[in-house]
């Protein structure tokens, strides 16, 4: 057995081959030293969807402590701290029970991107802690197994985008005295506190496209946060409420979903700063109430929401002067509305939704029809109504003849071309939540009353005619002989 260079390889060429292999290796490994995974959230308001890193090929790093502006340059972080070229901390894997990225008392601009933060044991410290870091940006990071995943204190106008906080012993995202924040497409899963906890953030908080699932506290908890916008966020399977606004006012909640939370879907308590508005939200499958207004809530406006079914009741109003419709013609969609009159809201406030609608789809009933066999131009036109249409099915005498996605528009089915008989056409329209409505139309095809031409008649007529001609000719011949 021999060793050395492969057979056929010139020994003199070995240095060249080694150099080529070395260059190839450096080329392959000179790319970004981290891998990414999709964060599962869709882009909101035209923003590019960020990705959250995995622990993959990130560069290992010890905990980072920055206590002044000069520390960024002294530690060698790229950038110069301006808006055009912020300092950047990027692509790191930091595993420690300490605060893994700790930045305080700075005035320069900085960004933290695509970092994986974890702890080998239960940590009593936050994963990423920012104190006095105005205009900071954190994107594409994962923080797990710490106290709070992301903790911002006294930091104004910060942006958190596409991050993931999971399995932390308190809140996933905790912002304290940090006004005007923007949180977009972040995920908080399985944290022991709330998914998102904004405390005394004063005003103009923007939360869009975030997801809070399976947290042991609330999905979203906003305390003393007025004039805020919550859009397209989802709270599912949290151990308390989906969304809580406490000492609130002037907030707008639209297109949010609270589903399967252990207490309430939306809980609003104590008016401040102005009226809040809930519109186009969905609250289903929560164990107590879909929407609960506490005893100090006043002046809130709730309409065009899909509410129900929920456990105890779909809603409860213990406040005063709250409105459950738009004061003109639009109320909410209720799973238990019987289709008649107003919808009374349980609770001491005595509120009513004056313009309620049913969640379930509805459909008209075209009149049964008859037509004569052989005629054409006959069809059934249904005009269903549905808040969130999904699909429809059409049956003829219990056999499925059409099935398609449905966008809420009219549905027309041709019934031409059948022989005499009776046919039952049944339609079922379904919404995205599985609610459905059906209708049946009877089509009777009558036998034709128009007598068709029988070829045998022509043969008989021709035969008779031929006999007559023969007889006439015979008589003529006889007369000639006479």
In this prediction, residue 14 carries a pLDDT of 41
Among the residue ranges 41-50, 69-78, 145-154, the one predicted with the least confidence is 41-50
DSSP 8-state code for residue 75: T
Whether the CB-CB separation of 87 and 80 falls below 8 Å is answered with yes
| Residue 30: per-residue pLDDT | 34
Instruction: Inform me whether the pLDDT recorded for 75 exceeds 70.
Output: yes
- Is the pLDDT at 151 greater than 70? The verdict is yes
Sheet holding 159-161, edge to edge: 87-90, 110-113, 137-139, 159-161, 182-184, 206-208, 229-231, 252-254, 277-279, 301-303
CB 325 within 8 A of CB 280: no
Residue with the larger pLDDT of the pair 151 and 480: 151
User: Is the distance from CB of 101 to CB of 117 less than 8 angstroms?
Assistant: yes
- Which has more confidence, 241 or 6? 241
Q: Read off the pLDDT of each residue in 381-408 and give the average, rounded to a whole number.
A: 92
CA distance 282 to 333: 9
pTM of the model: 0.76
Backbone angles phi and psi of 202, in degrees to 5? 65, -75
- Report residue 34 as tokens: 């981290």
Average pLDDT over residues 329-354: 95
Element (H, E) at 104: strand 101-104
Residue whose C-alpha is closest to residue 143's, from 173, 121, 182 = 173
Measure the CA–CA gap between 230 and 10, rounded to whole angstroms: 70
Condensed to tens digits (0 to 9), the pLDDT of residues 165-180 reads 999 999 999 999 999 9
> Greater confidence, 416 or 51?
416
- Would you state the pLDDT for residue 21? 39
Sign of the torsion angle spanned by Cα atoms 428, 429, 430, 435: negative
Question: Helices in 77-124 by DSSP H: which ranges?
Answer: none
Structure confidence at residue 54 (pLDDT): 57
* Mean pLDDT of the residues in the chain: 86
Whether the per-residue pLDDT at 278 is higher than 70: the answer is: yes
Structural domains of the chain, ranges and CATH numbers in brackets:
53-358 (2.160.20.10), 369-446 (2.60.40.2550)
At 203 the pLDDT is 77
pLDDT for 179-199, tens place per residue? 999 999 999 999 999 999 999
Is residue 199 a contact partner of residue 224, using CB atoms and an 8 Å limit? yes
Could you say which DSSP state residue 261 is in? -
* Structure token pair of residue 153: 């204190």
Angle CA 231–232–235, to nearest 5? 110
Check residues 279 and 35 and name the one with the higher pLDDT.
279
What pLDDT does residue 477 have?
A: 61
Asked if pLDDT for residue 135 goes beyond 90, the answer is: yes
Please choose, from the candidates 70, 67, 115, 111, the residue with its C-alpha nearest in 3D space to the C-alpha of residue 95. Answer: 115
Residue 243 to residue 267: CA distance in whole angstroms: 6
CB atoms within 10 A of CB 78: 12
Report percent pLDDT > 70 for the chain.
82
Q: What is residue 452's predicted lDDT score, i.e. its pLDDT? A: 52
Question: What average pLDDT does range 310-326 have in this prediction?
Answer: 96
* pLDDT, position 225: 87
* Spatial separation of the C-alpha atoms in residues 451 and 454, rounded to whole Å: 9
Asked if the model's pLDDT at residue 104 lies above 80, the reply is: yes
Residues 316, 337 contacting (CB under 8 angstroms): no
- The pLDDT tens digits for 279-298 are 999 999 999 999 999 998 98
Section 415-437 average pLDDT: 91
> What tens digit of pLDDT does each residue of 111-132 get?
999 999 999 998 999 999 999 9
Residue 270, pLDDT score: 77
Task: Check residue 371 and report its DSSP letter.
Answer: E
What pLDDT, on a 0 to 100 scale, did the predictor assign at position 26? Answer: 34
What is the widest separation between alpha-carbon atoms in the chain?
A: 148
pLDDT value at 461 more than 70 = no
Report d(CA 478, CA 346) in Å as an integer.
112
Whether the Cβ atoms of residue 282 and residue 308 lie closer than 8 Å to each other: no
Is the pLDDT reported for residue 318 higher than 50? Answer: yes
Q: Residue 302: pLDDT above 90? A: yes
The answer to whether 241 touches 222, Cβ cutoff 8 Å, is: no
Task: Note the pLDDT of residue 472.
Answer: 72
Task: Answer yes or no: is pLDDT of 247 > 70.
Answer: yes
Which positions ≥6 away from 415 have C-beta within 8 Å?
369, 371, 378, 379, 380, 423, 425, 443
Measure the CA–CA gap between 140 and 91, rounded to whole angstroms: 10
């Amino acid at each position: 057995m021999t060793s050395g260079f492969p057979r056929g390889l010139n020994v003199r060429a070995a240095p060249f081959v080694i150099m080529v292999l070395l260059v190839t290796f450096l080329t392959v490994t000179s790319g970004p030293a981290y891998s990414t995974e999709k964060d599962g959230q869709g882009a909101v308001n035209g923003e590019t969807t960020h990705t959250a890193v995995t622990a993959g090929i990130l560069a290992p790093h010890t905990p980072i402590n920055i206590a002044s502006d000069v520390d960024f340059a002294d530690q060698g972080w790229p950038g110069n701290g301006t808006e055009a070229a912020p300092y950047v901390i990027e692509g790191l894997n930091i595993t420690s029970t300490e605060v893994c990225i700790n930045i305080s008392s700075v005035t320069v601009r900085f960004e933290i991107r695509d970092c994986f933060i974890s702890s080998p044991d239960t940590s009593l410290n936050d994963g990423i802690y920012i104190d006095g870091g105005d205009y900071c940006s954190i994107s594409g990071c994962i923080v797990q197994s710490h106290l709070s995943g992301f903790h911002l204190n006294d930091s104004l106008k910060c942006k958190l985008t596409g991050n993931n906080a999971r399995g932390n012993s308190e809140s996933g995202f905790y912002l304290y005295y940090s006004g005007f924040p923007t949180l977009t497409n972040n995920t908080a899963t399985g944290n022991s506190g709330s998914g998102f906890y904004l405390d005394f953030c004063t005003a103009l908080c923007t939360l869009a496209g975030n997801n809070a699932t399976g947290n042991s506290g609330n999905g979203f908890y906003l305390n003393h946060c007025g004039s805020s916008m919550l859009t397209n966020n989802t709270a599912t399977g949290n151990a308390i409420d989906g969304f809580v606004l406490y000492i609130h006012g002037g907030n707008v909640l639209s297109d949010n979903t609270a589903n399967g939370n252990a207490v309430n879907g939306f809980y609003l308590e104590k008016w401040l700063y102005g009226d809040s508005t809930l519109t186009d939200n969905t609250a289903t499958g929560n164990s107590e109430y879909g929407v609960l207004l506490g005893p100090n809530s006043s002046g809130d406006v709730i309409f065009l929401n899909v509410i129900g079914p929920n456990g105890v009741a779909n809603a409860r109003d213990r406040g005063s002067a709250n409105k459950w419709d738009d004061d003109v013609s639009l109320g909410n969609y209720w799973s238990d509305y019987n289709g008649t009159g107003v919808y009374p809201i349980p609770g001491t406030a005595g509120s009513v939704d004056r313009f309620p609608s049913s969640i379930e789809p509805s459909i008209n009933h075209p009149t049964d029809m008859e037509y004569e066999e052989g005629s054409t131009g006959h069809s059934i036109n249904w005009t269903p109504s549905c808040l969130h249409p999904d699909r429809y099915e059409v049956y003829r005498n219990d056999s499925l003849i059409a099935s398609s996605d449905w966008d809420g528009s009219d549905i027309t089915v041709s019934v031409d071309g059948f022989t005499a008989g009776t046919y039952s056409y049944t339609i079922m329209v379904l919404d995205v939540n599985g609610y459905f409505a059906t209708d049946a139309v009877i089509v009777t095809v009558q036998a034709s009353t128009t007598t068709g031409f029988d070829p045998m008649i022509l043969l008989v007529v021709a035969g008779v005619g031929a006999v007559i001609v023969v007889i006439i000719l015979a008589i003529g011949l006889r007369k000639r002989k006479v």
